[in-house]
Amino acid sequence: MKLIDNFKKMNQYSIEYQEDIQEHICTSQQAFSACLCLFFIMHAVVLHILDFAASKELYTALAISSSQLLITFIWYLLFRYYFPVHKKHTLAAAHMNIFLVVILFELQYFLYNEYISYNIIICTVLCTSLTVIGHMVRYITILAAALGVDTAITVFKNYEVLNSIEMKMYIIDNLFVLTIAAGINCSISWLKYRDFEKKKQIIYLSQRDCLTGLLNRNALENYVKKYAGNDGICSMILLDLDNFKKLNDSLGHYEGDSCLCRTADELTGLFDSSFYVSRLGGDEFVIFMPYVRDVGYVMDRVRLLLEKIPEKYTSGTDEISVTCSVGVAFLKMEQDDLYEKLYKAADTAMYKSKAKGKNTVTVFENEFSSKILPKSLLR
């Protein structure tokens, strides 16, 4: 039962860490193919030329080694330049490469038994277990097919001793190699998944505000910059809590922190996953939305925000009302300095809201926003 649960977890991790898995596969397949290229060159020079120099089989042997070298070099180039960019079929390509490598060795083994050691094939098979992670069933299936071809070739070449103890031990050896390779692959996968999990936690913590759990300033800036230069409209909503300093001075930082956390909860509840919600520091929050298709939807969220944020606190005989002043900016994403322009525009609009008497929203007015927004929203 536990084994089944572990397989389910591995399948889940294979989906969750898809990008990390593809990066590992591309890197390891490059190294694997590069080592094979070196081996085939050495094999052609050291074995073929020396052993076949005086025989008629020299050119045939060199042709096989050259074909192996060429195919392996092509796979190296693919994993070096193509698959890091076009990631969709990386895993399938890796499995195909593993299968072809073993089959190519089998071709030599079939034609020149005395010049290709079974140990070389086994070492190659075990090395393949390090080049892919996750999707264990697929790896075992590919490896079983390759070793099945090896067994079939051996049976074909030694049919007269099919029932001998040596042949039975050979088949058992192949099953043993398959089991060991699967075990190594499983172990490496678990180790890599643990590394991915730690990496994910480190990245998460580096991008989050420690109090509210929202994105921090650096993370938001990096996300905005990723969209710079794209087509479409984006929006930034900047809000500042009114009377927050008075709350902190009167009731202390514990109550102030609670207010910030409640504000963060309201923001994450109002703005879905298409928005990036961030706390820049102090009582300043930012919401960024790329690819705005409905300006009215954004403004509806802002109006709901003004209704939900007000909090009333009692300090002795005084009542402290914490509201928010909001500035909204709409810009095209095609500019390179998108974050700086967006933030400056939203900040300007937010301070206009402060000047109007707080607890209100102002949309930054420029030539672009005047075209996409009704005049009633620009007052």
Please list the active-site residues.
Answer: 283
CA 119 to chain centre: 37
Cα torsion 152, 154, 157, 159: sign: negative
Q: Return the C-alpha torsion angle 167, 173, 174, 176, nearest 10.
A: 150
Long-range CB contacts for residues 294-299, cutoff 8 Å, separation at least 24: 295/233, 295/235, 295/330, 295/372, 295/373, 298/235, 298/237, 298/328, 299/328, 299/363, 299/373, 299/377
What whole-number distance in Å separates Cα of residue 314 and Cα of residue 12? 49
Chain length of the chain: 379
Q: How deeply is 225 buried, as exposed, middle or buried, from its count of CB atoms within 10 A (0-12, 13-18, 19+)?
A: middle
What whole-number distance in Å separates Cα of residue 363 and Cα of residue 378? 6
Per DSSP, the three-state class of 289 is strand
> Which string of b and e fits 185-208 if b means at least 16 CB within 10 Å?
bbebbbebbeebeeeeeeeeeebb
Asked if 238 and 346 count as a contact pair (C-beta separation under 8 A), the reply is yes
Q: How deeply is 17 buried, as exposed, middle or buried, from its count of CB atoms within 10 A (0-12, 13-18, 19+)?
A: buried
Cα torsion 296, 301, 306, 307: sign: positive
What whole-number distance in Å separates Cα of residue 129 and Cα of residue 107? 21
